[in-house]
Amino acid sequence: MGGLDPAFVREKLKVYLIAGSKDTSSPLPVVLNEAIAGGITLFQFREKGPGAMEGQMKEALAMQLLKQCRNSGVPFIVNDDVDLALQIDADGIHVGQDDEDAAEVRKKAGKNKILGVSVHTVEEAYTAVEAGADYLGAGPIYKTGSKDDAKKESGPEWITEIRRNGIDIPVAAIGGINAGNGKEVIEAGADGLSVISAITMAPSPYQAAVELTSLFKDSKSR
């Protein structure tokens, strides 16, 4: 188990925006501001893929986004860059299976940072829990255009399978999720919906965030 109160983490996972500078057509800080106004509960800075920023440019953008999140009480997670996360004192770190080992990240980050781990098999899920993950990222639930090396989509059944195996730590579902299909994902047992394109590519990121938020108002969340 991770270091944080699972009830706190569960609350924060609900509408979880993930984005880097290449995921938006308007500047990312503008999209983030709209998404925050629309009610997102968590943000992950995922600066990856062709043309991604590095070094000082990446750090400067991270600092700017962190400030926006801090001003509005939205925790700020860094994807796969432990040094950056520690340097800017982010609220958490998310790692995939090909990134730094989660147990190592937990050691470096201490107990008080949120640690998320992407999992695609039940075994990976058990290992992530052992390593001290606060939440699991489970996907891709539906087909995604936002990750070049994404695995084949699993459907909401992947969430059901995690729960059936007795894993009850907070789970954020990811991959092709939007306001139209999010409800069935919550009903399958997900605590939160992680999205890139549903917000970053929406004509109104604000409206998209509002619609995702509203799914939790009439769904029975755990």
Please enumerate, by residue number, every residue annotated as part of a binding site: 44-48, 79-80, 99, 118, 144-147, 176, 196-197
CB of 205 to ligand 3NM, least distance (A): 13
Instruction: Choose between 112 and 121: whose C-beta lies nearer to ligand 3NM.
Output: 121
Out of 12, 14, 46, 113, which one is annotated catalytic? Answer: 46
Out of 147, 163, 183, 221, which one is annotated catalytic? Answer: 147
Active site residue 106: no
Instruction: Choose between 5 and 152: whose C-beta lies nearer to ligand 3NM.
Output: 152
Measure Cα distances from 19 to 24, 52, 65, 66 in Å. Answer: 8, 11, 11, 13
Long-range contacts of 103-112 (CB under 8 A, 24+ apart): 103/130, 103/131, 103/132, 105/131, 106/2, 106/3, 106/131, 106/132, 106/133, 108/82, 109/82, 109/85, 110/3, 111/3, 111/4, 112/3, 112/4
Active site residue 26: no
Contacts to ligand 3NM by CB under 6 A: 18, 118, 137, 139-140, 144, 146-147, 150, 174-177, 195-198
Out of 14, 113, 118, 194, which one is annotated catalytic? Answer: 118
Active site residue 118: yes
Instruction: Choose between 36 and 199: whose C-beta lies nearer to ligand 3NM.
Output: 199
State the catalytic residues: 46, 118, 147
